[in-house]
Structure 1
Amino acid sequence: MKIRAAILRRSPVKGPYAESMPLSIETVELDPPGPGEVLVKISAAGLCHSDLSVINGDRPRPTPMVLGHECSGIVEELGAGVSDLKRGEQVVMSFLPTCGHCATCVDGRAQLCEPGHAANGAGTLLSGARRFHCDDGAEPFHHSGVSAFAEYAVVSRRSVVRVTQDIDPVHAALFGCAVMTGVGTVVNTCRVRPGQTVAVVGLGGVGLSSVLGALASGASRVVAIDLSEDKLALARGLGATDTFVASDPDVVEQVRAELNGGVDHAIEMAGSVKAFELAYKITKRGGKTATAGLAAPGSSFAIPAVNLVGEERTIHGSYMGSCVPPRDIPHYISLFQRGKLPVDKLLSSTGPLDDINAAFDLLNQGKVVRHVIRF
């Protein structure tokens, strides 16, 4: 079938993107779903820094590629062997297909699925197939097994999570990345307990989702830290108890003084070594510093070993919020519908696929938390 899709033909590309136009809207041929695959009509797709990092080259990926990984849609067609979904059901995509039988999947850590990560790195579906074809003979790669910046997507059944029909598709899309990663880092990775203190460094869509997750978990103090006064104001509106400007040279001392030596859990969501170092410095004795921010390849940080041992500190990486998508996405949506996770407040704007390059400028400039493409 012929569909319209946003294709990244080369990387890296510098902004402003409204001028350099890294994503071209093209008509491409999309194959029908193969065995174990599903054709989904995309309803809404969010713009994420993980997409931006492919455009600017921070996360090298093969090109040409149809970007987009945070989305909702409607099941249109089922490939051979898929019998547990029905046409017309609403779904949210997970940006990592999980095979269910590799060592990490069997160990209950689906977010580390070995075949899933291999397929994502290669730009294919879980089966190893590619389903896009251009008139010039190019066969674009898939982004995170999803490629949501298109009218339709063929994805592995292992990338699809059935969700309730009575949620706005624009809101549903946010659960595929921002909410799953942000809330999951709090709930699954850090296992925040009621009464503990939490700091979040970096207030994009994922970081603000962590703020909401910490509040829902019963944290007694939720500290929000960012360079942007506007995002700090948004965090206060969501319920953050304390806010600090990351660029303040005394920010570490301020947080430690206000929080009695630091926080139980400091979560870095900026994808920056400086932000991680800040998070580590404001973590109290015996506390945990977690990061789900994807810094550029080659980035590294140094910590004093004696401090790590003497204070029994923990450093923890979190990928996909340590989530099991079929378990966690419906649960988080239920919390949203009960007013416990007001993720709709993270939505900055919506727009058509044709305006996607200008929308990435807004994301790159920090002017939006989440911009969602409506189809």
Structure 2
Amino acid sequence: MKAAVMRAPNAPLSIEEVTISKPGPREVLVRLKAVGVCHSDVHFWDGAFPTEMPVILGHESAGIVEQVGSMVSAVKPGDHVVSILSPFCGTCEYCLTGHMSVCHTVNGEQFKRGPTEAPRLSIGKEKVSQFLNLSSFAEQILVHENTLCVIDKEMPMDRACLIGCGVITGVGSVFHAAKVEPGSTVAVLGCGGVGLSTINGAAIAGASRIIAVDLSDEKLAMAKKFGATDFVNPKNGDPVEQVKALTNGGVHYAFECVGLKLTAEQGYMMMRPRGVMTVIGMIPPGVNIEIPGIELLVTEKRLQGAVMGSNRFRIDFPRLVTLYQQGKLHLDDLVSDRIGMEGLTGALQNLKDNKGSVARQVVMFD
């Protein structure tokens, strides 16, 4: 199969012929149809997060099942599926208490092949690393069955793929992690693909005011399509004070969707007492968030994280598809460009440069 291989940070991806193995007992071979380009890919491509090379990046994918292993029960050939980077085992404490999105962080090795087994991906005798157990910048993926969810075959693949990361991260954080209440006020810091999905989720949840915060006026204009009611550009003054002025003292919920120390701290400070601040952005390793300790005590503000929207993806994905089909989830507006595999390096650079017109760029395979 053809795949976009990363051999060095910040270097162009090379389109190479890669050998993909046959499915093991609980593995599934999927022919990909569409893959979203996510800012998380950029963090590894530009070296901010370490990864073993050579590697095939990509993780926001949708396709059609081609082959299944002997023990696979969740999917069958011909199924249309969306992947996720947070597989679940189904037997650990986190899965059994309904927190399956955390499972992969403590049980990750069981979703990989063992050290004595043949690698899933290779070029000649050279092993190719599988990114987040997926490696979706390729024509096919070979994955554990618990990374996949079957969806309605009528769902367009270029929109379905977005559900697998950016959309579930944003919408799921609203529904599951923060549990936004109807009539409440929300601030969303960062209006990229995840931030726009968070805004969309807050609108579906019935928030009365949704304040979009971003340095790009283009992205703030996009945020209006997803349900934002107010718009704050930090270039026009302290965003904390702007948000407090709009809400008579602060919002009930804040979501950090950038992955920066500054925006995380600003999000916390723009909440009213008893507010809930949820960090969604990928804050780099070694970076600490600083907040006044006394605030936690006297205002009862809460600071939390949410990985992949605290999802239950086999329940969530079909529901999100239905919300799209009902016109409530605005996936059409989320796709800013459709590209081929050869356009991937440029797409990653667009995200790194924070190009204002870019929400989600989608690789199409046919």
Q: Is TM more than 0.5 here?
A: yes
Post-superposition CA distance 1:298-342 (Å, at most 9, x none): 111111111111001100100010001101111111111111111
Matches of 2:107 and 2:329 in 1, distance apart?
Answer: 29
Post-superposition CA distance 1:59-79 (Å, at most 9, x none): 212111111100100000011
Q: Which residue of 1 aligns with 2:3?
A: 5
1:126 lines up with 2:112 in the alignment = yes
Given candidates 52, 65, 72, the residue that maps to 2:62 is 72
Matches of 1:241 and 1:187 in 2, distance apart?
Answer: 19
Q: Which residue of 2 aligns with 1:235?
A: 223
For the residue of structure 2 that corresponds to 1:82, the secondary structure is coil
Matches of 2:113 and 2:39 in 1, distance apart?
Answer: 26
Q: Within 5 A, what are the aligned runs for 1:192-207?
A: 192-207=180-195
In the alignment, is the contact (CA less than 8 A) between 1:288 and 1:316 conserved in 2?
A: yes
For the residue of structure 2 that corresponds to 1:222, the secondary structure is strand
Q: TM-score, normalised by structure 2?
A: 0.95
1:293 lines up with 2:291 in the alignment = no
Matches of 1:352 and 1:218 in 2, distance apart?
Answer: 37
Matches of 2:346 and 2:245 in 1, distance apart?
Answer: 42
1:338 lines up with 2:336 in the alignment = no
Q: Give the CA RMSD over aligned residues.
A: 1.4
In the alignment, is the contact (CA less than 8 A) between 1:98 and 1:115 conserved in 2?
A: no
Matches of 2:301 and 2:219 in 1, distance apart?
Answer: 29
Gaps of 5+ in 2: none
Q: Which residue of 2 aligns with 1:353?
A: 341
In the alignment, is the contact (CA less than 8 A) between 1:192 and 1:217 conserved in 2?
A: yes
Post-superposition CA distance 1:233-289 (Å, at most 9, x none): 001232211000033332211210110101000000001111111111111111111
Q: TM-score, normalised by structure 1?
A: 0.93
Counterpart amino acid of residue 171 in structure 2:
V
Counterpart amino acid of residue 43 in structure 2:
S
Given candidates 77, 91, 94, the residue that maps to 1:101 is 91
Q: Which residue of 2 aligns with 1:33?
A: 23
Matches of 2:242 and 2:360 in 1, distance apart?
Answer: 30
Q: Which residue of 2 aligns with 1:179?
A: 167
Matches of 2:320 and 2:300 in 1, distance apart?
Answer: 32
Matches of 1:5 and 1:78 in 2, distance apart?
Answer: 21
In the alignment, is the contact (CA less than 8 A) between 2:87 and 2:104 conserved in 1?
A: no
Gaps of 5+ in 1: 15-19
Counterpart amino acid of residue 286 in structure 2:
G
1:83 CA displacement: 3.1
Q: Which residue of 2 aligns with 1:17?
A: none
Matches of 1:72 and 1:116 in 2, distance apart?
Answer: 26
Matches of 1:211 and 1:340 in 2, distance apart?
Answer: 12
1:268 lines up with 2:256 in the alignment = yes
1:49 lines up with 2:47 in the alignment = no
Matches of 1:64 and 1:277 in 2, distance apart?
Answer: 36
Name the stretch that deviates more: 329-338 or 126-135: 126-135
Name the stretch that deviates more: 226-235 or 351-360: 351-360
In the alignment, is the contact (CA less than 8 A) between 2:23 and 2:67 conserved in 1?
A: yes
Matches of 1:245 and 1:58 in 2, distance apart?
Answer: 26
Identity of aligned residues (%): 39
1:158 lines up with 2:146 in the alignment = yes
Q: Which residue of 1 aligns with 2:71?
A: 81
1:156 CA displacement: 0.5
For the residue of structure 2 that corresponds to 1:99, the secondary structure is coil
Q: Within 5 A, what are the aligned runs for 1:318-329?
A: 318-329=306-317
In the alignment, is the contact (CA less than 8 A) between 1:201 and 1:279 conserved in 2?
A: yes
Matches of 2:349 and 2:201 in 1, distance apart?
Answer: 28
In the alignment, is the contact (CA less than 8 A) between 1:268 and 1:291 conserved in 2?
A: yes
1:246 lines up with 2:244 in the alignment = no
For the residue of structure 1 that corresponds to 2:236, the secondary structure is coil
In the alignment, is the contact (CA less than 8 A) between 1:99 and 1:116 conserved in 2?
A: no
Post-superposition CA distance 1:145-192 (Å, at most 9, x none): 111100011010010100000011000000000111000010000000
Matches of 1:31 and 1:125 in 2, distance apart?
Answer: 15
1:346 CA displacement: 0.8
Counterpart amino acid of residue 9 in structure 1:
R
For the residue of structure 1 that corresponds to 2:262, the secondary structure is helix
| Residue correspondences, number | 360
Counterparts in 2 of 1:338 and 1:373: CA distance versus 1, 3 Å: same
Counterparts in 2 of 1:339 and 1:114: CA distance versus 1, 3 Å: closer
1:117 CA displacement: 5.6
Name the stretch that deviates more: 358-367 or 193-202: 358-367
Name the stretch that deviates more: 82-91 or 278-287: 82-91
Counterparts in 2 of 1:209 and 1:356: CA distance versus 1, 3 Å: same
